[in-house]
Amino acid sequence: MILGYDAYPIDGVQGTRTQAAITKFLSDRNLAADTSSGANFFDVLVEAARNPEGVGFSWCNDTNYAAMASLGVVEMGAIVTRGWYRVEAGQCVRPDVRGDPYKLYSYAEAIDTNGRPVKRGDAPLAWGGTVALCARDGRFELADHKDCATRGLNSAVFAVIDLAGNPSTTVHFKEP
């Protein structure tokens, strides 16, 4: 999945999945069907990769700190959380979201130049919500969110992001 368009496996052959991904890309951006045969189509693709605003889900970091973000997706009836995605100050990131989910879960924390959480008072500068899910300090993929602490995991409160009817959703990290 690249920028929300599934053309895997990448094998150098333009098959039905590649064509479906191109067709969806053109449709999502209201581009003419013949755009893909134009000389500047590669430039259009590169610009879409540079600018994650638009179709799909993305995080944009409007702070002066880097942020580490985690994403949860419902897969086979369970919320699977994955982390961490680094979102540099002033930049946007479009995480890999498989399928067409109607709901995502998002959590992020600001970090300093040494990778430690930035604190505001006693609490980390974080963006989340009310759904407690497990996470860990290093890279992770977790589907069991019971008893996080007893399993040596962290608990973080994720925000529910409703994607129903929204072809474009961006979460902005801002300082209070």
pLDDT digits (tens, 9 = 90+) for 133-173: 999 999 999 999 999 999 999 999 999 998 877 767 889 99
Asked whether 173 and 62 are in contact (CB, 8 A), the reply is yes
Is the same domain home to 96 and 19?
Answer: no
Is the same domain home to 78 and 146?
Answer: yes
Is the same domain home to 150 and 92?
Answer: yes
Distances (CA, A) of 62 to 87, 88, 119: 10, 9, 17
Is the same domain home to 22 and 92?
Answer: no
Give pLDDT, residue 98. 67
CA distance 33 to 26: 7
Q: Residue 50 CB: number of other CB atoms within 10 A?
A: 8
Examine the pLDDT at 64 and tell me if it is beyond 90: yes
Examine the pLDDT at 116 and tell me if it is beyond 90: yes
How many domains does the chain divide into?
A: 2
For residues 2 and 109, the model is more confident at 109
59 Cβ partners below 8 Å, 6+ apart? Answer: 67, 69, 85, 87, 92, 93, 95, 106, 108, 170, 171, 172, 173
Query: Residue 173: which of 143, 132, 128, 142 has the closest Cα?
Result: 128
Which of residues 14, 36, 51 is at a domain's end? 51
Domain of 83 in residue numbering reads as: 57-173
Assign 50 a pLDDT band (cuts: 50, 70, 90): low
Instruction: State the average pLDDT over residues 106-119.
Output: 95
| H/E run at residue 27 | helix 16-28
Instruction: State the average pLDDT over residues 74-93.
Output: 92
Is the same domain home to 9 and 68?
Answer: no
Q: Given CA atoms 72, 75, 77, 81 in this order, what sign does their dihedral have?
A: negative
Give pLDDT, residue 33. 84
Give pLDDT, residue 61. 96
Name the average pLDDT for the chain: 85
